[in-house]
Amino acid sequence: MSAAEKKVVKLISAEGFEFVVDYDAACVSNTIKNMLNSQGSFIENEQGEIRFPEITTPVMEVVCKYFYYKLRYANTASKSIPEFKVAPEMALELLMAANYLDT
């Protein structure tokens, strides 16, 4: 698959900020994966964009970074996987977003 053919997904935060991520990275979230692969003609599937009115922009940014982190290290046999650091003041919001996104 060439770079031009690579599928991307647009994730839109509560404030309307748009995060464009690779389809594979977005599918780290089982919720997003199910939305994009569901049967029928749902707008998320057709337009490749999903709105998250309950997830703020700073939280969505960390979530997107985590998607790439998880994709990068998911099947790594190495014991030197770097820690994914989370600011303590964001921990609760990130936990709620991770729970909702099934990540």
The residues spanned by each domain of the chain are: 8-101
Confidence band for 69, pLDDT divided at 50, 70 and 90: very high
pLDDT digits (tens, 9 = 90+) for 3-49: 445 699 999 999 999 999 999 999 999 999 988 887 766 666 667 88
40 within 8 A of 53, measured Cβ to Cβ: no
- What whole-number percentage of the chain has pLDDT above 70? 87
Length of the chain: 103
d(CA 93, CA 97): 6
Bigger pLDDT: 65 or 78? 65
CATH topology of domain 8-101: Potassium Channel Kv1.1; Chain A (3.30.710)
At residue 48, the pLDDT reads 83
Model's pTM, two decimal places? 0.86
4, two tokens: 């031009």
The structure tokens listed for 27 are 């599918």
Two tokens, residue 3: 């770079």
The C-alpha atoms of residue 85 and residue 10 are separated, in whole angstroms, by: 24
